[in-house]
Structure 1
Amino acid sequence: MPELPEVEVLRRSLEPLIIGDTIARVEVWNASLREPVDRRKLERLTSGRTIRSVRRRAKYLLADLDGGTTLVTHLGMSGRMTLVADGVPRELHEHVAFFLDSGRRLRLRDPRRFGLVLVMGTDELDEDRHFRHLGIEPLGNGFGGRELESLARRRRAPVKSFLMDARVLVGVGNIYASEALYRAGIHPTRSVSRISSVRWQRLADSIRQTLSQAVQEGGTTLNDFADGRGREGMFQVSLATYDREGETCGRCGGTIRRIVQSGRSTYYCPGCQR
């Protein structure tokens, strides 16, 4: 599933290409995504509107249009949003496309159909059910060890589960939680009630460093992800633990192990992480 770095990479790749362009029309070939696409509302609130900015909140891509409207997309498990020439043939699993005045098409391809396409008033975003319970941004100015420690107070959850709770911290999914905990030297099953202030700061630094490096390397492409130009990421080459069960730890020479937490695979080094 695309996580924060992948959506940020997508945002950065699309921003210089589509700002100032106008949506001429919309095509919805398959409305059956995670939530049904409202064809009429999408057409009514986006056609003829110019794209003014492209930003990100958590794993959502937000395109602000003139007239106070925002187009919201989520890639789900397997989505790709790419910009192609209008004449490029429609791909299998291409469910929604925005045809631009510049003669290009911004298309959402989503084989598993867990993606999301919504449109709403920009001033409605903060109170919308998709956004109002979201936690802090790990690449934002208000993120650090002190904030993590405060959010963990009176909790006893395993630290990896805590990091993946979007009500606490957004965009840190399975891959980056495993990698950040490895860099911080913290065991994924350790209770958040047993982490010192010093280690919280180390973990916050590791999260920020891991996510920033992933963005710089174009995200992680294990199966589906590509940026707005169709380029795949390279951070999978830098993964130290994720999907490396049985391989040698590059730091201590031990063996990377895999456990299951809340139905998700967790990878860690028992020699480096305590």
Structure 2
Amino acid sequence: MGSDDDLPTVVARMWGREPASRRGPRPGLTLRRITDAAIAIADAEGLAGVRMSSVAARLDVSTMSLYGYVTSKDDLLTAMVDAAAPDPPEPGTLAWRDYLTRWTRAHRDFLAAHPWLLEVSPLTPPVGPRTLRWLDRALTVLGGAGLGGAEAVNIASTLSAYAVSAATLQTAMSGTVDEAGPEGPAGYTALLARLVDPGGYPGLAAAIESGAFGAAPDWVEDADFTFGLTLLLDGIEALIARRRRSAGPGARRRP
């Protein structure tokens, strides 16, 4: 294991492991102040509004003063992703399935609350204390259910990807997708009905005709989210059952 001196500047600061200043007063800025300012800009204007210069202006400091904390915009985005994440729900006494339901729902909700995260979070591996705490809690619960290693990591990644997908759909369908896009679920369904013909798209046309996409706002709300999450959790439950069968009747069952 390398020393903390080998850590990237922004990672060291996220974990409170930056080297202590050898002389002079501590800087007036903090990484938290910088990320709070950047998050406020992203929430109001989207990622396009987040520039080193715009963050510095919001803090009333020079742009150069930010570079002691974040050496590039990519570093800034990494820190923003971690700072925007709340603490994950704690497992407590919840069964693994109940906990992962709560975990995935909470993951979806904080992404939907900060839509700019949908652009950057899937491309930013978790390296901060908050985002890694989310991964840790999922892996801990899966380990208690008898799954570990690469299987548990893949499951946590799949549930995270589902949260991203659900938040993306929720965000898109809550308003206009783009300047030429439809307004909400009803507008999207109406657009599909005009574009899709049964000859070229028989499965999709039948789904539209049956009302599968729905004209009501609840198309992208909880029932659809729960349905998809249930499919994933059923698959995890089947995997756990297979692992227990392969372990044999004498293996100790985990809670």
Which bracket does the TM-score occupy, shorter chain normalised? under 0.3
TM-score, structure 1 length as denominator?
Answer: 0.25
Structure with the bigger RCO (C-alpha within 8 Å, sep 6+) is 1
Which one has the largest radius of gyration?
2
TM-score normalised to structure 2 length: 0.26
More strand by share: 1
